[in-house]
Chain A
Amino acid sequence: MADTVVGATPDPHASGEDPSRRDFIHIAAGAAAIGAVGGLVWPLIDQMNPAGDTLALASIEFDLGKVEPGQQVVVKWRGKPLFVRHRTPAQIAAAIKDDHADLRDPQTDEERHKAGKAEWLILVGTCTHLGCVPTVGGGDYGGWFCPCHGSVYDTSGRIRKGPAPKNLEVPTYAFLSDSKIKVG
């Protein structure tokens, strides 16, 4: 670089915006270092996400024959309670009647069960407020009542009162036969 000192540019350090080979090396090295750190940080963050075996155990099968009308059975699915509720005709009628009531998270009862299977309501049993397990049959609507902060759900699992923002979640599930479902 001695020739630049004696050559056309009197002071090579004066103009910072003049891209020289040295600037290029600085920027390239800096970018490579940032990229390398970023590439290393991501595995350290992503390791906390659900592991492969956790994801692999994500579905279960359940035999509905055990559940009498008016009953609810709670099974563990993905570490959370899963509500399997066999609804009575009166409970279904009460849910349909409120389809067009003033709902916080509007959904019809039809959208919350499989077609032609209105008696089976399959829900994730965690309150959408802060994840407590609501008790069946409680509250003003005969659905569920969450003891933690007083959220009330109707017989379709829709939020009606209290701090919870959403209806009880309907998981992905399918009927394998008339009396057997696969959840997840």
Chain B
Amino acid sequence: MSGHSTYEPKTGIERWLDVRLPILRFANDTVVTFPTPKNLNYWYTFGGILALMLGIQIVTGIVLAMHYVPHVDMAFNSVQRIKRDVNYGWLIQGMHANGASMFFLAVYVHMFRGLYYGSYKAPREVLWILGCVIYLVMIITAFMGYVLPWGQMSFHGAVVITNLIGALPVVGPAITTWLWGGFAVDDATLNRFFSLHYLLPFVIAGVVALHIWALHVPGNSNPKGVEVKSEADTVPFHPYYTVKDGFAISVFLLLYAAFVFFAPDALGDAVNYVKANPLVTPAHIVPEWYLLPFYAILRALPNKLLGVIAMFGAIATLFVLPWLDTSKVRSMRYRPAIRLWYFIFFIDCIVLGFCGAHAPDDLVIPGVSGLQLGDANLNSFVWLSRFAATFYFAYFWVITPLMGLTETPLKVPESISEPVLSHPASAPMGAMASPEKRG
């Protein structure tokens, strides 16, 4: 933790506990007096939202496990029973299934915020990498959870994804059989996915603890991207950010509740209401919305192994981002040139998502067929995903390193307080010799 502890035990019991297990001191230093930059905006509230979502997923998940039966003959029916017969099962199952989507929505906002404000740069590389680890484990957990209802999309999604590993040369097929515990996705697979789906959220919680630890060593980044220079740049976490986070959580919960109560199936696939049948593949296999961009990258390449490498590469790239960015300026507020590319990158991710949701040969613009180039129809989603996937990698591996070397950033303020205090409206304060050292 940065700085000295300001905790003073007030009662006899607190003093007694403080020399034995200083847990109240730790809590005080972490969430009460923790000095936080005073200029954090609402994009910075998603960390708190994510912590809440993890808690909700664990609590609802533990309850669901009391009623769920991980067996190929009973899994589908047991989920339907939870939804129809178990007391409040409809609510708890709805919170869990939609909670996964809301969890990913929040994590994507959190990640795009980190990208924009350069939160991954020194000295926060480890913080960023731990975040990438959490994201990766989240993907694995969500995938395994999606298999459990044992609908058609659950089953064939599991078949497709486990077959990805079979693309590895030599060891691929053996690893796939090992993952399945048989010759196909079957009862053994369902049971181990259930076991791991129960375990991994606690692994996530552990990495989240490390993530917060790594956050509290250098302290929060902030929209200006300049480090905290003095106490004048900070406010205590409580009540300032407990209240701000609380308000953001309330708004976020409104959206979450809207899905749970009014459109519980809006984000799911109707095909998953059909019980898994290994002999019939649904006409169109798609993952949940939050994995569509990666699915599009997988299908963009005509070769199976290269597709798999590209898909994992898209996630692996995030891990090395701190070393791809050559700019010393953290926040894109002061980097107008790359800011444009950043927004194109954001749109690119949405485009990849659309590509992942469509069949490869579907036309992007219906009725237009004049974009034929040899064998290739450039108006198809497979070609759109090729262009979009190329840009995805180019943004990280070409644009980010080059922009840092070639752009001219705007003038970065001296401190978090400076632009406010030197503003004409606050001239008397700006006239002080060293305003940031006031008091």
Contact = CB atoms under 8 A, between A and B. Distances in A.
A49 B183 contact: no
Given A148-B160, A149-B360, A164-B304, A133 B181 contact: no
A163 B281 contact: no
Given A49-B178, A50-B177, A51-B188, A148 B303 contact: no
Contacts of B182: 50, 54, 78-79
Contact of B304 (A125, A132, A133, A165): A165
A72 to B, nearest CB: 12
B411 interface: no
Quick one: which of A45, A48, A130 has the most chain B CB within 10 A? A130
Quick one: which of B179, B360, B361 has the most chain A CB within 10 A? B360
Interface string B295-306: 000010111110
User: Chain A: interface secondary structure?
Assistant: loop
A38 interface: no
B314 interface: no
Contact of B192 (A48, A54, A125, A164): A48
Contacts of A146: 281
B284 interface: yes
B278 A50 contact: no
Contacts of A165: 167, 303-305
B269 interface: no
Given A131-B160, A132-B159, A133-B279, A78 B181 contact: no
A164 B304 CA distance: 7
B167 to A, nearest CB: 8
Interface string A135-160: 00000000000111110000000000
B383 to A, nearest CB: 13
A49 B281 contact: no
Contacts, number: 88
Given A74-B279, A81-B278, A81-B279, A50 B285 contact: no
Interface residues of B, number: 39
Interface residues of A, number: 28
A133 B196 CA distance: 27
B429 interface: no
B160 A130 contact: yes
A66 interface: no
Given A147-B281, A147-B283, A163 B303 contact: yes
A140 to B, nearest CB: 13
B156 interface: yes
A165 B166 CA distance: 11
B184 interface: yes
A76 interface: yes
Contact of A50 (B161, B188, B302, B360): B188
B176 to A, nearest CB: 9
Contacts of A79: 182-186, 278
A132 B209 CA distance: 40
Interface in A60-92: 74, 76, 78-81
Nearest to A128: B304
A57 to B, nearest CB: 9
Interface in B276-331: 278-285, 299, 301-305, 307
Contacts of B183: 50, 54, 58, 78-80
14 contacts: A45-B178, A49-B177, A54-B182, A54-B183, A80-B183, A125-B279, A129-B163, A130-B160, A130-B164, A131-B159, A132-B156, A147-B283, A149-B299, A163-B302
Nearest 10 interchain pairs by C-beta: A79-B184, A78-B183, A131-B163, A130-B160, A133-B281, A132-B281, A131-B159, A130-B163, A79-B186, A80-B184
